[in-house]
Amino acid sequence: MPEGDPPLTLRDLADIPVSRLRGVGEKKEKALASVGIQTVLDLVQHYPRRHLDRTREARIAELRKGDEATVFGEVRSSSTRQLRGRRTLTEVVIGDGGHQLTLTFFNQRWREKQLQPGMTLMVHGKCDFFRGNRQMTGPVVDLVGDQTGRIIPVYPQSEKSGLLTRDLASFVREALARARIRGFADPLPDDIRSRFGFVTRGAAIEGIHEPETMTQKDEARRRLVFDELLRVQLELVRRKRRIERETAGISHRLEGELVERFHERLPFPLTAAQERAIAEIGADLALERPMHRLLQGDVGSGKTVVAVTALLAAIQGGHQGALMAPTEVLAEQHHLGVTSLLDDLMVPDPTTLMGDRPLRIELLTSRIGAADRRRILADLVIGRVDLVIGTHALIQDRVEYASLGLVVIDEQHRFGVEQRAALRDKGDAAAAPDVLVMTATPIPRTAAMTVYGDLDVSELDELPPGRTPIVTTWARREAEVARVWETVRDEVGAGRQVYVVCPLIGESEALDVSSATETYESLTGGELRDLRVELLHGQMPSTEKAEVMERFRTAATDVLVATTVIEVGVDVPNATVMVVLDADRFGIAQLHQLRGRVGRGATASRCFFVADPTTADGETRLEAIVASTDGFHLAEVDLDLRGEGTIMGERQKGRNDLRLASLVRDREWVGTAREVAVALIDADPELEDHPGLADEIALLLGDDEAEFLLKS
């Protein structure tokens, strides 16, 4: 590379195949490709999974029983012997100076060939003593070669590819040495770099791969993490602003007689959180561009009142509202709830004799009869229906509106960006309706900024008065489980109702869990034999499910044995006990959702999680859910436990740009990156003054990945 050329950009590195590096022949090129490394950019972004500080390594002589440590040593010998039952034991002896450590591996015969005498390696594990000699069973092994540096990078290794840390380290070393001639371009504006005290891009790439101190490695990681998060946020904010710029919306006013009448008749005053969310939504509605807002609130936090307030703001301005739910059961539930909430509410209408007219709400699902359906569709087109509630049937071709002003979508995670776009298209040709998305599964703010990056977020983080606290109990022993069924019988005896939830529908040999059908048969023949028990699961025909739910809703059934079909939206105030069987098989968010099905009336409610977990994670989840009823706190615990993979969902299939950054470890940087992105895009909407940043987004995120981001 001739001197005087401009510094290397990431695109330059992406154009250089790894085969150009010394030592990368055909065989190594194939091995690198098998782990996703085809270019020099792939190589420098294949970050070490950890760094070993050789100044702090343990000596074999210092190891005591029970110590978990990292030691370096040279292989002295390796041998394998046959055990009973076709098992093998491979023993590898390593030493540093005059002391030895035996490494034992069960059924890993290949270790004998891999770990040859004379090799230098690093092992990490727990020290034990056997016949007076130190040993580690099944330790983590890294073949680091004879590296004398103080800090050694350890790269993710793949047994299949045969690539070792020392191979990757030497390829990276050569790539960096050759890149130093031109240096690395730094697209981050100087003022942002100095504001956060970041090292340059070049120093960061060198510092993550070849740090001289652990501090240098930490500074490098901090900069590279910010770069990744900033790219994601810049793309999200840019697309969000584009939609706002290019799509005309309808301006609605919250101040008006209809909204006022609704608030006056509420049995409780609004909570401070509801007032804050309504104000945020009101500010969006007033603008002449479509709102895209996420309303996330805990189970029972009063999201419906906030959503109905927004819908009434559209209706009082002469437009229509639509509320879309993911299932027919949930759509019917919303219809019942909203109709009772707005019962006899009159819409101010100066064209009528009395100056008022009744508010008209209709339900539109596949279960509505043909004649009713035709009538509703005809009245929607001419504006006689104010609010329509339904499933995705609301966005089918045959459904047309006179003037669709606001759409509320419940349970966002069941809808993709395509459905949201189809709903927008149902609006006036000149203006798109506002969109409010509701979710009762809180996710941490940092994750929301990434997963729901095209939406502004409002949070309801307090419960309205009148919600009774739910007492949560974990039953794992036989005597505790027996008491659960006693409580169930007592509650039913007092005229109340109970849910029993199981993880599976039919028998499964693969999973030893209670199935709904088995549980139903066992309970009706045993603990609950003289009670009115019914079964509900997702594989039943729609009409049968509706009939079962209706009997439970009207208290014709005492106990409902169900799968997680009841997780979302089912509202029976008389149900005061929730029993979840094999609770360790559910995630925290699901358990919290299920618990929220009770405690909806004035009577104190109980939730029992029946489980004897076989994993530490299962124990931690149950401990967390018993200790807290705060969905936002539990969402943070869930993120810590499961990592961002579960939250990023669909994005995992894209070329995920988060190679180093973690929504768990780097929470504070997500918010900071969002702020910086908003400021940059607001000043320079298409990043014309920041071509380096724009090019990196195009290179690393591309259209496909950006679509994944927006699909959430």
Interval 290-334: pLDDT, tens = 888 989 887 778 899 999 999 999 999 999 999 998 888 788 888
Q: What is the CATH number of domain 62-144?
A: 2.40.50.140
| 3-state secondary structure at position 537 | coil
CA 208 – CA 205 distance, rounded (Å) = 6
pLDDT bracket for residue 568 (50, 70, 90):
low
Name which of 256, 264, 349 is nearest 311 in CA terms: 256
The arithmetic mean of pLDDT across residues 233-243, rounded, is 87
| 3-state secondary structure at position 658 | coil
DSSP letter at 654? S
Give CA separation, 443 vs 108, 637, 672, in Å: 42, 10, 18
| 3-state secondary structure at position 442 | coil
> What stretch(es) of the chain map to CATH 2.40.50.140?
62-144
CA 110 – CA 120 distance, rounded (Å) = 17
| Helices and strands of the chain, counted as H and E runs | 25, 24
* Chain mean pLDDT for the chain: 85
pLDDT bracket for residue 654 (50, 70, 90):
very low
Q: Is the dihedral of CA 260, 261, 262, 265 positive or negative?
A: positive
462-508 tens-digit pLDDT: 877 767 778 999 999 999 999 999 999 999 999 999 999 988 655 55
Integer-rounded Cα radius of gyration of the chain: 31
> Has residue 525 got a pLDDT over 80?
yes
> Has residue 651 got a pLDDT over 50?
no
272-281 tens-digit pLDDT: 999 999 999 9
How high is the pLDDT of residue 222?
96
Whether the Cβ atoms of residue 31 and residue 161 lie closer than 8 Å to each other: yes
> Has residue 519 got a pLDDT over 90?
no
pLDDT bracket for residue 345 (50, 70, 90):
very high
Q: State phi, psi for 510 to the nearest 5 degrees.
A: -70, -35
CA 376 – CA 156 distance, rounded (Å) = 60
Tokens of 228: 């990744």
Q: At what angle do helices 214-246 and 201-209 cross, to 10 degrees?
A: 130
| Residues in CB range of 27: below 8 A, 6 or more apart | none
Name which of 69, 83, 49, 195 is nearest 128 in CA terms: 69
Fold classification of 257-460 is Rossmann fold (3.40.50)
| 3-state secondary structure at position 18 | helix
> What stretch(es) of the chain map to CATH 3.40.50.300?
257-460, 470-628
CA 171 – CA 339 distance, rounded (Å) = 67
Name which of 237, 217, 218, 219 is nearest 229 in CA terms: 237
| 3-state secondary structure at position 659 | coil
CA 682 – CA 685 distance, rounded (Å) = 6
pLDDT bracket for residue 8 (50, 70, 90):
very high
Q: For 49-58, 65-74, 241-250, 532-541, which range has the lowest pLDDT when averaged over its residues?
A: 49-58
> Has residue 709 got a pLDDT over 50?
no
The arithmetic mean of pLDDT across residues 597-625, rounded, is 87
Q: Which helix (H) or strand (E) holds 484?
A: helix 478-493
Q: For 13-17, 527-531, 688-692, which range has the lowest pLDDT when averaged over its residues?
A: 527-531
How high is the pLDDT of residue 509?
46
CA 458 – CA 294 distance, rounded (Å) = 6
Whether the Cβ atoms of residue 519 and residue 561 lie closer than 8 Å to each other: yes
The arithmetic mean of pLDDT across residues 426-444, rounded, is 78
The CATH architecture that domain 470-628 belongs to is 3-Layer(aba) Sandwich (3.40)
> Has residue 688 got a pLDDT over 70?
yes
Name which of 638, 590, 645 is nearest 617 in CA terms: 638
Listed ranges 94-98, 99-103, 519-523; the one with the highest mean pLDDT = 99-103
Would you put residue 155 in left (φ > 0), alpha (ψ -120 to 50) or beta? beta
> Has residue 646 got a pLDDT over 50?
no
The arithmetic mean of pLDDT across residues 247-269, rounded, is 91
How high is the pLDDT of residue 645?
52
Within a 13 Å sphere around the CA of 352, how many CA atoms are in the beta-carbon half? Answer: 9
399-433 tens-digit pLDDT: 899 999 999 988 654 555 566 566 666 666 668 88
Please state whether the predicted TM-score (pTM) of the whole model is above 0.75.
no
How high is the pLDDT of residue 398?
82
pLDDT bracket for residue 147 (50, 70, 90):
low
The arithmetic mean of pLDDT across residues 337-366, rounded, is 89
